[in-house]
Amino acid sequence: MPFSLLTYNSLSLFAALLYLVSAASTFTSIKKGKRLTLSTLTLSSASISIFTHALLIAHSYSVNQIIANDFFSMLSLIFLVISLLFYVSAFSQAIDALAVIVFPLTALAILLNLGNALPEATGTIIDTPLQIHIVLSILSYGLLTVAAFQAIFLSIQEKQLHNRQLSGLINYLPPLQVMELLLFRVLSLGLFLLTFALATGFIFLDNIFAQHLAHKTLLSILAWLVFATLIVGRHYLGWRGQQAVKWTHAGYISLMLAYFGSKFVLERLLN
């Protein structure tokens, strides 16, 4: 049964607040100079916030029995995927410091979708194969967003190491070699999913180069080419450091414009 507007907004505020509590708990640990682990407060608040966030996404699906694909619903779903990936990864990798960045942005995505308890149904019939394409696109975007965050921290970490002075969040990250390895693992998996997302788009969409899809398709293909070139360059030419960071950000910018740029223009500017 779909939530009422009051229930939906209350759960949204609750989830956003708990995301901020998780981020604040991590930030407090950093300020105290403690080595970061998943504290009880961070773990419990993050678990509840992700679960509540998932309920909100499930509610949006239940309204029209399709994935809500308006701009702010998609933004909320993307950040749910990112937060879940971060949460799972934090158990095996020392990336807890990223909670200070990931969770506040997720809270903001939820708040921007406040009041959207009954997203409008799309005018296009979305069958199961097409929804599979959408889910693959969301998962690939979520992974490559994580890679973009990692690249930012990798760049700062490398510059501080060259200056022989680590400070702030960077002091709590894994060694530079481990950060690079994690970056390329996430990039490889993200590229793998993006490949299937593009493939299913060509298969299941009647005309993937239709007027309202052309920019998204071309920018997604450009992003795929950039990420694929980076992976090949890493394997055969030993690309690393700032070169890898620049290619990661170039690919991500293209992908971000494909996912959100065209949607923002069509929905918010052109209505």
pLDDT digits over 21-67, tens only?
999 988 887 777 655 556 778 888 999 999 999 999 988 887 777 77
Q: Please, which residues have CB within 8 angstroms of residue 84's CB and are 6 or more apart in sequence?
A: 50
Q: 22-48: buried (b, 16+ CB within 10 Å) or exposed (e) per residue?
A: bbbbbeebbeeeeebebbeebbebbeb
Average pLDDT, the chain: 82
- Boundaries of every domain in the chain: 1-120, 127-271
Which is nearest to 166 in space by CA: 23, 33, 24? 33
**Percent residues over pLDDT 90 in the chain:** 28
Its pTM stands at 0.77
Could you tell me if 230 and 242 are in contact, meaning their C-beta atoms sit under 8 angstroms apart? Answer: no
Residue 226 pLDDT: 96
Could you tell me if 271 and 242 are in contact, meaning their C-beta atoms sit under 8 angstroms apart? Answer: no
Dihedrals phi, psi of 134, to nearest 5 degrees: -65, -45
Could you tell me if 54 and 119 are in contact, meaning their C-beta atoms sit under 8 angstroms apart? Answer: no
Q: What is the pLDDT of residues 67-94, one digit of tens each?
A: 777 778 888 888 998 898 888 877 777 6
